[in-house]
Amino acid sequence: MRDLRGRTAVVTGAASGIGRGIALALGREGMRVAVADLDADGAAAVAREIGAGAFALPLDVTSNDSLEAGAEQLAARAGAHVLVNNAGVMLPLRPMSEASDADWEYILSVNLLGVVRCVRAFLPQLRASAPDAHIVNTASLGGLVAVPGFPIGPYVTSKYACVGYTESLRGELAPEGIGVSVLCPGMVISNLSATSARNRPARLGSQAAAPAAAAANPELATRMLPAEDVGPLVVRGIGENRLHIFTHANGRPQVERRFAAILADFEASPRPRSRAARGGPMKFALRDSLFNPYKIPHEAVMKSIELIGKHVIPEFDR
């Protein structure tokens, strides 16, 4: 989707941080931008920053009723061409063993199910706009690589799920002419901890807002990207219909090490001795309608598996 001028975008979590940066960049491309957020005042302020054509859209990505109302409001204006599912939350830093059911429900309800709900709510409009239609889901570099010893396990879990969902969604919507990308940012200056604490529903308990990383560690701040710099990268990714959109080229070695470890474990696995281990039943499963409802030829599936690693690493060079 190269020509964004005159089209309409909806960006969730757009009152601050990365969402604001993306909304501003899309506005500079001449798009009408629906600045969607739980923070209505913040969304209105960003809409004023963007100027003509932008408007605030109060939206709760955990509520189907809110999303239905937001979709109706957008449809009455122009309908969506670009959907950026950026709303996200983070838990206080602590081991996964200390995370409660309420913690898990909160982070997954926004970082995963919020994306799923938003796609479901706005997909009819995107289908009407296709082939001038695109979806961007914000995950994280932490959705490709876990960082041992860094206590953000629930966040990483939710972002891995977002990456898997997005890669699957791209395959489903490609025949309809709808592009799908996953944004995998590295460390970006934002107020995610504060907004996560403020927006947590009372029924799921409360959480304290940690000091912003940039303020707490000035040295770390020098390696963090300003949120406004993410927007142009997303615009470029939409224009090129990239599957993965990266912000930090220095994250490439981490991804390479992960895939190298995966391949090493394949090499260390016992060699198949039976028809079952060589793939007989797998071929059957892939041909079975339950496991392969789209009846994709087995050869095409196996070729796709071979190419998975090649689709990630080269995109750091884009």
Which residues, 6+ apart, have CB-to-CB distance to 62 below 8 Å?
109, 110, 113, 114, 117, 201
Which residues, 6+ apart, have CB-to-CB distance to 219 below 8 Å?
none
SS3 content of the chain, % helix, strand, coil (to 5): 55, 10, 30
Under 8 Å between Cβ of 16 and 44: no
Amino acid at 167: E
The reply to whether omega before 154 is within 30° of 0 (cis) is no
Amino acid at 256: E
Alpha-carbon gap, residue 184 to 137, rounded angstroms: 9
Q: Is 229 exposed, middle or buried (CB count within 10 Å of its CB: 0-12, 13-18, 19+)?
A: middle
Strands laid side by side in the 32-37 sheet: 55-58, 32-37, 8-12, 82-85, 133-138, 178-184, 244-246
**Could you give the residue ranges of the DSSP H alpha helices within 78-179?**
101-111, 113-129, 153-173
* Total count of residues recorded for the chain: 318
- Is position 155 annotated as part of the catalytic site? yes
Among residues 155, 160, 165, 294, which one is catalytic?
A: 155
The residues assigned a catalytic role are 155
